[in-house]
Chain A
Amino acid sequence: MSFELNGKTYATDEEGYLQNLDDWSKDVAEYIAGTEDVEMTENHWEIVNFLREYYQEYQIAPMIKILIKEMKKKFGPEKGNNKYLYELYPAGPAKQACKIAGLPKPTGCV
């Protein structure tokens, strides 16, 4: 599976997650967001950027409760809650935001 963007081919898994973390760019993120019917605003980017920073450090996407707690610390309680995250990413922050951030899906007993 793959998609093409600006003349380059990007490998994805069956569900459209990027295969190679290094393939990610802002354009790629915008493209994936488009396939998910998500229009990226500054608020959306805050979350995607956090996810990528977390991944850089821990090599896995954060648990939702960690995401919420960290968002709360960084941006205050109005952004650190489940409702806010689901408003931005209706299919779920774990699934949709991670996909846009170019992170792989976690596997195992999850």
Chain B
Amino acid sequence: MAKEPKPVEMSGISYKPPLQEWMDVTTEIKEGMFCWGAKEPSLQKVGFPNARSWSPVEEDWKLPENWKDIVLEGIAERLEKYRSFKIFMDICVRCGACADKCHFFLGTGDPKNMPVLRAELLRSIYRRDFTKAGKILGRLAGARDLTYDVLKEWWYYFYQCSECRRCSVFCPYGIDTAEVTIIARELLNLLGLNIEWIAGPVANCFMKGNHLGLEPHTIHSSIDFLVDEIEEITDIRVEPTFNRKGAEILFVAPSGDLFADPGTFTCMGYLMLFHEIGIDYTWSTYASEGGNFGFFTSNEMAKRLNAKIYAEAKRLGVKWIIGGECGHMWRVLNQYMDTWNGPADFLEEPVSPITNTKFENAKATKMVHISEFTADLIHHNKLKLDPKRNDHLKVTFHDSCNTARGMGILDEPRYIINNVCNHFYEMPDNTIREKTFCCGSGSGLNASENMELRLRGGLPRANAVKYIKEKYGVNMLACICAIDRAALPPLMDYWVPGVNVTGVTELVGNALIMNGEGERTTDLRGEDLPGIEEKEDNEDV
């Protein structure tokens, strides 16, 4: 695999477009910028079409003979089904307001990463086959034929969009280019043109309930391991339960938190928080994934994977559900779950058993975000917190695209951080909240073979972190998304060495004063707490 260029080389980005018109520029599939193609067994397991062994770098992508008809019929079907798609195809005036808002364009300088042009890749085919002007005038009307090269261009560029929706914030028409990418990926899926980093987790999730393919006893042992870790740090043994019928609350986390650092520290935070407030909750080894990589393949697949959450809530007879820190998980839960697999009329409207707060916003889905839940606890003074335990950290907050733009969770994480940390600094205004910059690896692009793409796409975010690192000495980047927790550490190591990544609930776990705990000498990562060395030195004297 190609080694990435050095930061100084990679940041020398040319924004000069090629001299030819965009339709005449043939796509070159560059190493480091794409993910390996979806593998036969992964596609087979979920019954996706055209499961075969293929490689994006070979000429022949092994498509069915009638591939063109399949795509055009696919477009026709979706124009019927999704009014938004039809509108987004018709109304763009190509004003270019979105052009420089995309992190992938900013990081690559490739015009086909301008959201307007990315959508145009599909729109040009729509015009050719579905509009009168395009049928008659062809290229004059911005239309072109669907060819093998066009298909390869789609695959290359629609897997260079992380569906973050930053462009849509700036579009005067409100066109959501992420939805264009979503449709384009659905069309590509009709031909088995997926990437393995998405297809693998989807197959795992379908077969075993979570992206990593963790078996029930593996989940159990992983959480037991974290329970031991908590005991070593706090002297308190938390006792989580699994698949327990009759529990009041079902808790669903992204599986990355169970099995990959730094997500595991966030997971320790969940375990400690729930233990301390004493809620009656259970984990599930069946609904063992909050995330939904199916959402990056097709609406139907996302729905199939999502179904297990309500099914498990029903089977266990819980009253409502809390969900962990994950980005796209919440886009799916907040915007689709109720209509896909609801109504969840067997559940009750969520009410915090500790504060009696009714979570009105979760009335339909019956599922509450951990940050909303925690912020409410803090607001009602139900947690004993010692923010000094996070004094070794100078923290900033990265708004995860989906929770920020997809559901408006902007203030809760900040409220929590401000209560559990003494040193919090914001990145510049145009890089946070609704205008947050993507980690560069969202929508299933957090593989290793496309590292150059990820580092380029993450440059605007990293640049904002670098700015406040230099200004305030920030050394910790907090987030509420498992893809962020997987994607941001290599991004920071590359562009802003010295900044680590944490989930918000990990910071809560550090600050949380637990009833009967022993004196804490380290944080959840086993690092000495601030002032501990001095104290030990003094004791020696």
Contacts and interface: CB of A to CB of B under 8 A. Distances in A.
Interface of A: 13-15, 58-60, 63-66, 69, 106-110
Of the listed residues B257, B259, B260, B483, the one surrounded by the most CB atoms of chain A closer than 10 A to its CB is B259
A35 to B, nearest CB: 13
A91 B464 CA distance: 30
Contacts of B201: 107-108
Nearest to B201: A108
Contacts of A64: 261
User: What bracket does the count of chain B residues touching chain A fall in?
Assistant: 35 or more
Nearest to B56: A14
11 contacts: A58-B217, A59-B214, A60-B214, A63-B222, A65-B225, A69-B225, A106-B260, A109-B255, A109-B483, A110-B212, A110-B260
Contact of B291 (A14, A59, A63, A108): A108
B486 interface: yes
B256 A110 contact: yes
A107 B204 contact: yes
B486 A15 contact: no
A109 B293 CA distance: 10
B36 A13 contact: yes
Given A58-B218, A59-B214, A109-B257, 17 more contacts: A15-B449, A58-B215, A58-B217, A58-B221, A63-B261, A63-B264, A107-B196, A107-B200, A107-B211, A108-B200, A108-B211, A109-B211, A109-B291, A109-B482, A109-B483, A109-B486, A110-B212
Contact of B449 (A14, A69, A109, A110): A14
Interface in B483-517: 483, 485-486
Interface in B318-366: 326
Contacts of A13: 36, 39
A65 B526 CA distance: 12
Contacts of B256: 108-110
B374 interface: no
A106 B263 CA distance: 15
A108 B255 contact: yes
Contact of A65 (B215, B261, B326, B483): B261
Contact of B212 (A65, A69, A107): A107
B257 to A, nearest CB: 8
B234 interface: no
A90 to B, nearest CB: 15
Contacts of A65: 225, 261, 264
A34 B321 CA distance: 50
Nearest to B35: A14
Given A108-B201, A110-B212, A60 B485 contact: no
